[in-house]
Structure 1
Amino acid sequence: MAVIGYARVSTAEQTLDLQRDALHASGAVNIYEDKASGKSTDRQELAQCLKALREGDTLVVWRLDRLGRNLQDLIRIVNELEGRDIKFKSVKECIDTGGPAGKLVFHLFGALAEFERELVRERTVAGLAAARARGRKGGRPQILTEKETRAALAMMKNRDISVAEIAQRFGVSRSTLYSLQTSHRQSVVSKLKGETLGMSH
């Protein structure tokens, strides 16, 4: 049963000495080291480290944020380790999943992560519902200038050009173009009605 360490710094200019000392003091014989941003998915040494771990081993890090890109990523990695019967230890936070207290902490982390995801989903649904109530759909507003609108409507009269091509050219959806076309027709009809009524008086 080996104790394997993993250390990471964000830039090549930063030093790993502090982490190495802490990991060696925790019994790590072999240490894998990455020099990459915490948000980067390209952490080759971490991949090699996780691959090298065997059942009964312990992975030790200096601090939790050295391992996961975010809370969900951290929990995912630790859950995978637990599934392989590999223990996890974080020096700074005094977490050791080899004991009941450490396991409890990660169960709480997992519950908090799920709670956060649920809140985000609820806020998104509520936001979309509020937008629909105000007559708007979700997403980036798609606006054309008056000149672009005239050009788009003129192009839509040309059957050699598809609506999809026109939409792509102006950076809007096809539904936006159809809405503009409908509004234009209604405007023309209203104008003609007004002119007709004016002539009748």
Structure 2
Amino acid sequence: MPQTYFYLNGPSDPYFPEQELIRLDQAGYTVALSRVAIDHVQQCVGTEERTALNGLLRRAAPGDELVVLDLSSLGSGARDVLATLQKCRKEKIAVRCIEFGQMDLASHPESQAIKMLEAVVRLEAQTRSERSSTSLKRAQESGRPTGRPGSLSPQDREEVIELLAKDVSISEIARRFGTSRQTIMRIRASTAVPATEDGKSGD
């Protein structure tokens, strides 16, 4: 027989989750405490780290339903919420959110709510990409360094330059400092340390 599970996430205080349970009752649900899962994590914490929610989803079977009070219970952002709903959809677990009424957010075919979340995720991705491009362009125009920061400290760089001047090979220096040959080669290029005739520093 299909079961109805409830998931709540909120602070650890004397008023939680009594008020939330009252809201579920007012929405017409008969809440069995044995089927209630509760997390006490901040909203910014993703679903992977919501222990009670993951345990509940492992416990639920196809045909069961998950009830939450609001969309934030399902993840830390649009992408996270969408991933949770897609997982439930794949496992054939219905998801009902009180703030959205009685519709199954994980239904087949996709609900309008899912389509809206997908659109929001695409919008967020485009916005991040545009912000990144704009920041990179501004940095280049102002002459600020771009790309990945150097993997070596200023002191390490000085030691690398000294080793290069002593004709220690690039491969050996990279091994000593646990970095890549490309990093050492960039340092050599930036300091104009020439390769020796026997090619040691250019190894």
TM-score (norm: length of structure 2):
0.68
The 5-angstrom pairing of residues 78-93 of structure 1 reads 78-91=85-98, 93=99
- Structure 1 alignment gaps of length 5 or more: 186-201
- Structure 2 alignment gaps of length 5 or more: 195-203
Amino acid at match of 1:108: M
The answer to which of 82-91 and 133-142 deviates more is 133-142
Q: What is the number of equivalent residue pairs in this alignment?
A: 179
Deviation at 1:12, TM superposition (A): 6.3
Task: Work out the CA distance in 2 between the residues paired with 1:151 and 1:124.
Answer: 34
Deviation at 1:178, TM superposition (A): 1.8
8 Å CA contact 1:68, 1:74 repeated in 2: yes
1:112 equivalent in alignment to 2:101 = no
1:124 equivalent in alignment to 2:132 = yes
Partner of 1:164: 174
Partner of 1:138: 147
Question: For the structure 1 residues 95 and 139, does the alpha-carbon distance in structure 2 shift closer, same or farther, using more than 3 Å as the test?
Answer: farther
**Identity among equivalent pairs (%):** 15
Instruction: Give the secondary-structure state (helix, strand or coil) at the position aligned to 1:32.
Output: strand
Deviation at 1:59, TM superposition (A): 0.9
8 Å CA contact 2:161, 2:188 repeated in 1: no
Give the structure with the higher percent helix: 1
TM-score (norm: length of structure 1):
0.68
Task: Render the CA deviation track for 1:66-115: whole Å, top value 9, x for unaligned.
Answer: 22122211111112212233221222x22443389x92122111111122
Deviation at 1:46, TM superposition (A): 0.8
Task: Work out the CA distance in 2 between the residues paired with 1:47 and 1:149.
Answer: 47
8 Å CA contact 2:85, 2:95 repeated in 1: yes
Instruction: Give the secondary-structure state (helix, strand or coil) at the position aligned to 2:5.
Output: strand
Instruction: Give the secondary-structure state (helix, strand or coil) at the position aligned to 2:39.
Output: strand
- Superposition RMSD in Å: 3.6
1:94 equivalent in alignment to 2:92 = no
1:9 equivalent in alignment to 2:10 = yes
Deviation at 1:150, TM superposition (A): 4.9
Amino acid at match of 1:86: I
Instruction: Give the secondary-structure state (helix, strand or coil) at the position aligned to 1:55.
Output: coil
Deviation at 1:22, TM superposition (A): 2.0
Partner of 2:199: none
Partner of 1:71: 78
Instruction: Give the secondary-structure state (helix, strand or coil) at the position aligned to 1:162.
Output: helix
Task: Work out the CA distance in 1 between the residues paired with 2:52 and 2:189.
Answer: 53
8 Å CA contact 1:12, 1:35 repeated in 2: no
Give the greater-gyration-radius structure (CA). Answer: 1
Question: For the structure 1 residues 5 and 150, does the alpha-carbon distance in structure 2 shift closer, same or farther, using more than 3 Å as the test?
Answer: closer
Partner of 1:37: 42
